[in-house]
């Protein structure tokens, strides 16, 4: 299969406490992501699973350069993502979008839904007319299960599941190739989260999407992943096909995570 995303020895450290004006030495740092390497094939769902604080979200944000790594390489479609700037970086970013964990905090409460979803078009496709933007926005909202009437309303008027659908619509409006989904259902009720997972799977088939799916939940990952990386303390301790990792784990930590789950759902 063709490789869409390739990551080599990605590393990120932070100063430990004290704030900007801390007098602590440079040695007082902790490592959030510690030499992580992996590849993601076009069209697959590569899931990164691990407990809170293991570095999953830091990794997710580095993939889109929302956080700059200390060292390492990120190749997207064969191009050095960390070496891109200006117009070249903007062009790459339109192909890589993120769905955030909290569907309320990630939406501007002062903007109407139509403005929120169409904003990426205004930035990346300024030649479109207002009517063309509205038409594209209405179409993608319909596809994620919302009506055109939603365009005139504000985020607080929607349920958590509906807000996450708005976030998904915003991510899809530019027709990207890669979606990084950071705990996209962890803030939702189980039944609502299951509906969002089903929608993400439908959209993946329809739009030929590739997912990097971040989660702390093995039952969630079991439903969507083609391959799974188990992350602990900033490192991948096990990477493999979903079926192998879930049914024949090689690492002790993976077995501990699985033993804490009563029963995994079957795809």
Transcribe 114-162 into DSSP letters.
HHHHHHHHHHH-TTS-HHHHHHHHHHHHHHTT--GGGGGS-GGGS-HHH
Q: Which residues sit opposite 73 in a β-bridge?
A: 8
Task: Read off the tokens for 87.
Answer: 């117009």
Average pLDDT over residues 150-168: 95
Q: Cα separation of 266 and 199, whole Å?
A: 18
* Whether residue 15 has pLDDT greater than 90: no
By percentage, how much of the chain surpasses pLDDT 70? 94
Report residue 18's pLDDT band, with 50, 70 and 90 as the boundaries.
low
Compute the distance between CA of residue 150 and CA of residue 158 in angstroms, rounded to an integer: 9
Give the pLDDT of residue 261.
81
Average pLDDT for 197-215: 96
Q: What is the average per-residue pLDDT within 27-39? A: 90
Q: What mean pLDDT is predicted for residues 45-74? A: 95
pLDDT digits (tens, 9 = 90+) for 95-146: 999 999 887 788 999 999 999 999 999 989 999 999 999 999 999 999 999 9
Report, as an integer, the average pLDDT of 68-75.
Answer: 96
- Whether the per-residue pLDDT at 205 is higher than 60: the answer is yes
CB atoms within 10 A of CB 148: 13
Query: What percent of the chain shows pLDDT beyond 90?
Result: 81
Question: Nearest to residue 212, comparing CAs of 178, 169, 171?
Answer: 178
Average pLDDT on 84-91 reads 91
Pairwise CA distance, residues 179 & 176, whole Å: 7
| Triad 58, 61, 63: Cα angle to 5° | 110
CA distance 197 to 99: 12
Distance CA 254, CA 50 (A): 9
Angle at 103 (CA atoms; ends 240, 64), nearest 5 degrees: 50
Q: Looking at the predicted structure, is the pLDDT value of residue 21 above 80?
A: no
Binning the chain into helix, strand and coil, the percentages to the nearest 5 are 40, 25, 35
Token output for 23? 């007098």
- What confidence score (pLDDT) does residue 101 get? 87
Specify the DSSP element, H or E, that contains 30.
strand 29-41
Contact (Cβ atoms closer than 8 angstroms) between residue 12 and residue 69: yes
Position 20 pLDDT exceeds 70: no
Q: List the structure tokens of 119.
A: 């904003």
Q: Which pLDDT score is estimated for 26?
A: 52
Distance between CA 218 and CA 258 in Å, rounded? 7
């Amino acid at each position: 299969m063709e490789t869409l995303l390739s990551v080599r020895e990605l590393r990120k450290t932070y100063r430990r406490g004290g704030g900007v004006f801390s007098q602590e030495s440079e040695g007082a740092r902790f490592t959030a992501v510690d030499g992580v390497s992996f590849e993601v094939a076009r069209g697959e769902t590569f899931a990164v699973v691990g407990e809170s604080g293991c570095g999953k979200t830091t990794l997710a944000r580095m993939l889109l350069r929302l956080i700059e790594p200390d060292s390492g390489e990120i190749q997207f479609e064969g191009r050095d993502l960390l070496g891109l700037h200006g117009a070249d970086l903007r062009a790459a970013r339109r192909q890589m979008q993120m769905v955030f964990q909290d569907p309320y905090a990630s939406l501007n409460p002062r903007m109407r839904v139509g403005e929120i979803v169409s904003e990426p078009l205004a930035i990346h496709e300024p030649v479109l007319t207002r009517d063309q933007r509205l038409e594209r926005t209405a179409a993608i909202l319909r596809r994620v299960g919302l009506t055109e009437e939603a365009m005139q309303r504000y985020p607080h008027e929607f349920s958590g599941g509906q807000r996450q659908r708005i976030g998904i619509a915003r991510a899809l409006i530019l027709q990207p190739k890669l979606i990084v989904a950071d705990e996209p259902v962890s803030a939702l009720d189980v039944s609502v989260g299951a509906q969002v997972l089903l929608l993400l799977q439908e959209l993946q088939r329809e739009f030929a999407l590739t997912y990097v799916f971040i989660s702390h939940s093995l039952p969630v990952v079991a439903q969507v992943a083609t391959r799974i990386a188990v992350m602990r303390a900033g490192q991948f301790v096990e990477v493999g096909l979903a079926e192998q990792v879930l049914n024949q784990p090689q690492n002790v930590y993976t077995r501990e995570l699985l033993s804490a789950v009563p029963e995994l759902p079957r795809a």
